[in-house]
Structure 1
Amino acid sequence: MKQLFITILLVLGGLTNGLVAQNGKFEASLSESQVGIAKRFKVTFSLKGKGSNFQSPAFKHFEVLSGPNRSTSIRVINGDMSRSLKYSFILVARKKGAFEIAPAKIQSGGETLTTQPLEVKVVGSDEEAKDNNGDEKDKGVVERIKDKLFIRTIVDKTKLYQGEQITATFKLYSRVNISNYSLDGMPQFNGFWTQDLNNPKKLRVKNERYQGQRYKTAMLRQVALFPQKSGTLTIDPIEMEMVVRVRKKSNNNRHPFFNNLGNYENKKVNITSNTIDIDVQPLPTQGRPASFKGAVGNFDMNVNLDNRQVKTNESINLDATISGQGNLKLIDPFKINLPGDFEIYDPKINQNINSSGNKIKGSKKFKYVLIPRSPGTFKLDPLKFSYFHPDKEKYITHRTKEFTFNVREGQGTTTQAKPDKSQAKKEVEMLEEDIRYIKTNAGNLHQKGNTFIGSGLFWGLSIAPFLLFSGMLVYRRRIEALHQDEALFRSRKARKVAKKRLKTAAKYLKGGQLDAFYTEVENGIWYYAADKTGLEVAELTKDRLRQAMLGQQIPEQEVNRLVEVLDQCEQARFAPSLAT
């Protein structure tokens, strides 16, 4: 396991080498240098280039409300790609004084980069902080518009089961004139498997009434979240930097009509959405069937066979389709139990998944090809698919009937030839000649006593079939045992499948299909880890993956690099607006 993880990291490093052409500065910044007690502020660590193994400071004397919130930006200019990273934290001070925020560290270009320390002065109140800040006018702007410009995180439920979908919507509300904006940080959705429902490249503004006030609103992002572990999970805030147009305050005695003429200026403000805690209930253990593999939702199963009367070496197509609403993408292929007389190929998977009505729904089809190698009558055990229905709060199992195959002997099958009695042995006819013709060469003569029968080659060829048969018997029993031990079977195939996915990812990257590239790389890592650990993909989290790798004595640096790759893939897939 350790060897292939390192191989994956090396291959991924080669594939993504062209994404970053430079290593830049690693800098730290504050949203404000003087704050009042209990006043929230943001500290941001920015890197131009590629980085990994980020180490944040301890933030002594401060309480961390949110973070690290990681954001990635990828830009393509004339075919050259550049990357920048940001790690941000929302902090609050609890006592007065002048405090230092220690430097942060990150690995980039084979070096350890360090930020400069930051000085924060905490005063008694927010009003005092405004008076002491050199930009108190800007702080006053923030206060004046805080009820007129904000971001809401809206979820359709705050209590649900593990694996059940929750829809999170991030919406901007404004009653001010916005000149420009940019997304500074996107949530990491730690503990969730995510899929975008709506990620507009251009904001669509609508009028909406909220708490008795009329606002212009725009959806920033809508995401389907599937919690992968139980407990309290937090949806971190989304951050935006806004440039708003506000009216200047005037101290002259001119008529208000003339004060309004050209008396506006642009001010930069940072806004952050609210955090939301989600109560995730574990799936019940009572009544959980053995065929349950982590599917949560409402599903149907349909299985079709194209032929049950075949000849040897002819293919049988078996299609198993799961359709419905829920975590479809996390559903694994079926386990097909057939005797060793059948050759079974890995299924071809077709997905037709959409987000109609803000819910993940559609179908996932597994197309199997079965080839019988021996004649006879064979039976396929019933296929079972179990899932948990969150609304009914119970497990449901779909089960097919037993399938029977009648296999006749076909062309290409090795059989023992029967003697043909019509063919009589012909005797040698002697010519009526007394003296035979003298041959000029010895022909195919052998020394007396040196015959083939009894020779070493004779005995070798005689014993070979028995040795071959014994070897095939041992191999067949080993294969049957491997198929019976699902965990061992998955572990043995994991390396081959992972390499295949990486090759496919390389093709996507070469063709410029970045979304498909990141998806294939991410799936390759998760499925390899699941196969090696014997867990289902739906049960895996980054923490469990980290523990499994460290348990295999994989160096922590390599573990951090792999988790960084997963973070990059998730960010590129689920925050494409930051990868433009």
Structure 2
Amino acid sequence: MNRLGKIISFIIFNLITVTAINAQDISIELGPDQIALNQSFTITVKVEGETLKSYNKFPDIEGFVKRGTSSSSSTNIFNGQVSRSQSVTQTYIAEREGTVSIPPFTIVVNGKEISSPGKTVRVVAAQQRQQQKRYDPFGSDPFEDFFGRGSGATEFEDIKEDAFFALTTDKDEVYTGEGINTTLAFYVSDDNRAPLQFHDLTTQLTKILKKIRPKNVWEENFSIENIRPEPINLNGKRYSVYKIFQASFFPLNDEDIVFPRVGLEMIKYKVAKNPSFFGQNRKEDFKTFYSKPKTIKVKPLPDHPLKDQVAVGDYELREKINSTKAETGDSFQYEFGVRGTGNIAYINEPAIKKDKNLEIYPPDSEERITRSGVSVMGTKTFNYYIMPKEPGIYNLSDYIQFIYFNPMKKAYDTLQSDYILEVEGSSLKNKSISDASATGLFYDRIENESNEVEQFTDFDWLKTVVNIFIVLALGISLFILFKKS
């Protein structure tokens, strides 16, 4: 090709590049048509020309198992114009060899529906991993001859990163049973110039959690599925936070919780000292970022007869009843709901006072838990059937009470009903389930009866009558027998 042809080719390539940079495009990229059993398949959502603000769930694929997500971003400057590209990748692992069909699917990205036609992927036997030279699409410069630079080696420099890895908690001191919200996150300053990227995050996170998960705690996991940057201001400086794990831990005893120092390995690229337009401008390297160790002081609850049984949290009562007036023998349907912030799963049934005049049957229970921000919130509801046996006025606060410890007030508190029942009708005290005698039910009498062995002398007269009857019967039988003879 002569020099004029090279110039024309360069101009055409330049125009194509500028057009691509100015375009705003959202796309879905699927992995290869064939993978080995020990290789992963990926689905990537890529956004160019705008910020990746939101996206919904990646599809579930029969024959594949999800194995975490990763995200990356890059910024390019060309002829004074800035082009940003962001992507998030869902990784899948094949369950077995064979053919996996990925049906067409849609993902909502930045409020727009982006469709993929799907495809068929062939899964073959696992392949032996070999040390191969990594393919580098930017390893050579097709226009080196045009610019006359030859094949000299590119020098790279390590740019100091403005980023850190941290384990943070919302409290430094808690009571036994009080929640500690714990977050593992990677922080990147808006002023950072060093290119960074996550890698093998699922494997790393599994090892990290084995080290930091405390013993003797109840865990409420916030289940982070998608790692997205969240803006935050620290000491007047803006950062993007990438949360990789978040959970609330509720200590079951007063042993201090110790979080050790853990490391997260990141891909950190070295940048070419003299970048070329089409050449290799960065080189992959690795750096491990370490969190600082942290200890949470756990305090025992103040002395109380129920200190080892009560729930801990900030709760309020939500109650309902179908009626406050009824006849003896009719039932009330009563709902006692404990709502608030704390370990909802640990809430036990309220204390019930037993009374022969007001029978309260064991409840059905239901719980709803929400994990939001840095709190675990929810409601645990107990549904009761209450049957009055005697007319009168009954204050439910005397019969059903929920005692708990409020760490905000640093004191024990009690939730009790505001309902007052008005019962009319005749007494059921002299009646049993099957119209038993006035002495009452067997189970009502059993507590008042003696358990000593007694001799039943009152029945001697009955024995005498029976013996006389037997003698008379025997005499009549003998008389009839001899008469016939």
Shorter chain as normaliser: what TM range? 0.3 to 0.5
Question: Which structure shows the bigger proportion of residues in helix conformation?
Answer: 1
Higher-Rg structure is 2
Q: TM-score, normalised by structure 2?
A: 0.47
Question: Which structure shows the bigger proportion of residues in strand conformation?
Answer: 2
Structure with larger RCO (C-alpha < 8 A, sep 6+): 1
Q: TM-score, normalised by structure 1?
A: 0.40
